[in-house]
Amino acid sequence: MKNYVFDSFAMIAFFEDEPGAERVEVALRQLFTKKARGWMSVINWGEVYYCTYSEQGPGGADHVVSRLAEYPIEVVNADQNMTQEAAILKGKYKVAYADCFAVALAKAKKAEILTGNPEFKKFKEQVKINWIR
């Protein structure tokens, strides 16, 4: 069984039908057929919300997260251990803090990260990256 951590980049690409959306759709279908499990950090969930809010306002953001809730992706709260791991990664690699939560979650779940964000290249030795583009 595959294990995926969905980065905000992947979910935004999917919801906005950007390049790579079809790769995200394949992974989402695997969740529904129980061929994969999926998680998203609440921090990355927040990223989906605020990015959509910035472009489409509160109605658009609410619509996107309600659509996101239709998928069997478990939104994982950031506890102290995950936050510490993310903080260490942020200090070491100088990337966006939210990206560090996706990596920390992927490490904890032994999952691959679904993304197209080039910042994740810095983590290729630590977690498997499933590039959507």
Whichever domain contains 112, its CATH number is 3.40.50.1010
Band of pLDDT at residue 30, cut at 50, 70 and 90: very high
Q: What band does 23 get if pLDDT is binned at 50, 70 and 90?
A: very high
pLDDT band at 31 (very low <50, low <70, confident <90, very high): very high
pLDDT reported for residue 59: 97
pLDDT tens for residues 66-96? Answer: 999 999 999 999 999 999 999 999 999 999 9
Spatial CA neighbour of 114 closest among 32, 25, 17: 25
Q: Which domain holds residue 99?
A: 2-131
Residue 82: burial class (beta carbons within 10 Å; 0-12, 13-18, 19+)? buried
Give the 3-state secondary structure of residue 8.
helix
Number of domains in the chain: 1
